[in-house]
Amino acid sequence: MVILCLLLVFLPGCVTRDAKPAVELAMDREEPRLWLRVESAWRVSEQDADQLMPLVTEADHRIELRQAAVDRMLECDASGFWRKAWSNSVWISDWPMIRLLALRAQTTRSPDAIPWLVMSWASPSIEVADPQRPEAKAIEAITSQPARNTLKRLAFSASPAEEARTPVAAWTILARTQPDGWLRAQLSEVDRRKSHDWLGMLQDAADSVDLLPADRLALQRLAWLYEQVPAESWQDWASMRKAHAGDGPATLSLRQLPAVSHLPNDWRSITREQWIERVRDGLADAAHIHRGTDAEDEVVIARPSMLEDHLASLGLFDLVVLGAMLDVRDDRSLAKALFAQADNDRVDRSAEHGGVILWDSGGRLRAEPFEPDTHKHDRAYYASEKCIRAGALGLANYHFHATGYDNAIWAGPGNADMEFVDRHHANGIVFTFIDHDTLNADAYFPGGIVIDLGCITRP
């Protein structure tokens, strides 16, 4: 009788739990029995199988369960699965799943997997070098030819009617893995009438820059530039590049073009060595503040921030940008606006403030503030898309370190700031309160370059 009562108490709960729909049980994070979740994934009906996709995109599930979900979805609708993997590629970023999917693509030799393989490979990795990427091996197994051939076809032969994500991803891989001369040769053969617009823009940019736009965000920056500047500007930039070819490191890129456009005529023929002397002179009497000098907090990371620390890496047009940034430092009318914005930032504890240094219609520099995209905390400036877009035609994106007036240990860019200019291919300036009447200015460029420009005093 006692046993019967116990069965009546416990059996309904067990039956109810295991009687959940298979997809619900497979997804149940509270279910401790891994074997039951795996078995449930295999029991999901064909029409419900695509509901298992979160098990592919969310890395905190056990790999045995995720593998079962992948195999069940492939069994039910392989083409549909690869389409969904492609559309969710940004969320499939953990190596256990990338390797699993690449292996499935390789063993099944499914052409439907190629768009996902390309999208996945387009994201760079510090763990796996490009020649060893599992996505590359899978593409070669599917096509029986070198992966470069497939990437070339996708990037340069895609119809304008096709969605651009995969061709752009293919270009990103090629830009990372192939010699510059090969890339330019392929671009020169593109028929603009039969190609995506971005390939035509790349053709023009190839004449005007040393460093070709190499990923989606760089191509977006190119598109913003392309729609806002006249054709003569591209011709002008190409002439400047040609005139200074061989004068130091070849670093002319999209982020430097606006500064080149605003060069006074008498500075356009100046050599790199002459630019170095001009920048040195501008920094000679500057009061430099070194990040973290008096810090006890280990999260404050000091970086080399003097001109000589980075001189070998700075091309002529980096120095052009630095020359314009020194003009920002020395512009007293601009200083008034910067201090007003910094004071507002100090009071606002919800976010850092920032914007873009731009030229007005008369060629004068101005600091255009942009509302932060997100207000999360007082040590981050989240630039809006509008701000980033404006930066494509500006000298630099800027923000403040103004949690207080005595903020010297935070002078200069932090890790997130350096990641921003790397990701968005931008120039940056950060203004840091040293005391009530002093802002320190630091320039920073992609590749870890930081140059302390000195201090600005309150007007």
CATH number at residue 285: 3.40.140
Task: Let me know if residue 326 belongs to a domain.
Answer: yes
Residue ranges, the chain, pLDDT below 70: 1-19, 293-300
| Burial of 175 (C-beta count, 10 Å sphere; 0-12/13-18/19+) | buried
Looking from the CA of 69 toward its CB, the CA atoms found within 13 Å total 27
DSSP structural state of residue 258: H
Do the beta carbons of residue 402 and residue 388 sit within 8 Å?
A: no
Task: Let me know if residue 442 belongs to a domain.
Answer: yes
Task: Let me know if residue 195 belongs to a domain.
Answer: no
Can you say how many angstroms the Cα of residue 56 is from the centroid of all Cα atoms in its chain?
Answer: 24
The single residue listed with the structure tokens 């099944």 is 108
The single residue listed with the structure tokens 């609708």 is 77
Q: How far apart are the C-alpha atoms of 167 and 8, rounded to whole Å?
A: 62
Do the beta carbons of residue 89 and residue 116 sit within 8 Å?
A: yes
- What is the three-class DSSP state of 386? helix
Task: Let me know if residue 365 belongs to a domain.
Answer: yes
pLDDT at 297: 56
CB atoms within 10 A of CB 119: 24
What range defines the domain where residue 352 resides?
272-457
- What's the number of domains the chain is made of? 1
Helix H segments across 123-230? 134-143, 147-157, 165-177, 180-188, 197-208, 216-228
Task: Let me know if residue 316 belongs to a domain.
Answer: yes
| Distances, alpha carbon 199 to alpha carbons 205, 213, 329, in Å | 10, 11, 38
Structure-token pair, residue 71: 């195999």
| Distances, alpha carbon 373 to alpha carbons 121, 217, 368, 382, in Å | 30, 18, 15, 5
Which among 388, 453, 396 is positioned nearest to 262, based on CA atoms?
396
Q: pTM score, two decimals?
A: 0.89
pLDDT at 376: 82
Q: How far apart are the C-alpha atoms of 364 and 253, rounded to whole Å?
A: 23
CB under 8 A, 24+ apart: contacts of 325-328: 325/357, 325/395, 325/396, 325/427, 325/429, 325/441, 325/443, 325/453, 326/279, 326/282, 326/283, 326/453, 327/365, 328/357, 328/365, 328/395, 328/429, 328/441
pLDDT at 432: 97
Task: Let me know if residue 298 belongs to a domain.
Answer: yes
Task: Let me know if residue 100 belongs to a domain.
Answer: no
Task: Let me know if residue 99 belongs to a domain.
Answer: no
DSSP H or E stretch at residue 120:
helix 114-122
| Burial of 362 (C-beta count, 10 Å sphere; 0-12/13-18/19+) | exposed
pLDDT at 176: 97
Task: Give every CB contact of residue 367 below 8 A, 6+ residues apart in sequence.
Answer: 334, 337, 338, 341, 355, 356, 357, 398
| Burial of 249 (C-beta count, 10 Å sphere; 0-12/13-18/19+) | middle
Q: How far apart are the C-alpha atoms of 318 and 326, rounded to whole Å?
A: 12
| Distances, alpha carbon 427 to alpha carbons 253, 254, 317, 420, in Å | 11, 10, 12, 9
Instruction: Give tens-digit pLDDT for 312-356.
Output: 999 999 999 999 999 999 999 999 999 999 999 999 999 999 999
Instruction: Give tens-digit pLDDT for 2-59.
Output: 444 444 344 444 334 456 899 999 999 999 999 999 999 999 999 999 999 999 999 9
pLDDT at 193: 85
Q: DSSP characters for 259-280?
A: HHHT--GGGTT--HHHHHHHHH
Q: Which residues pair with 365 in a beta bridge?
A: 359
pLDDT at 296: 55
Q: How far apart are the C-alpha atoms of 418 and 442, rounded to whole Å?
A: 12
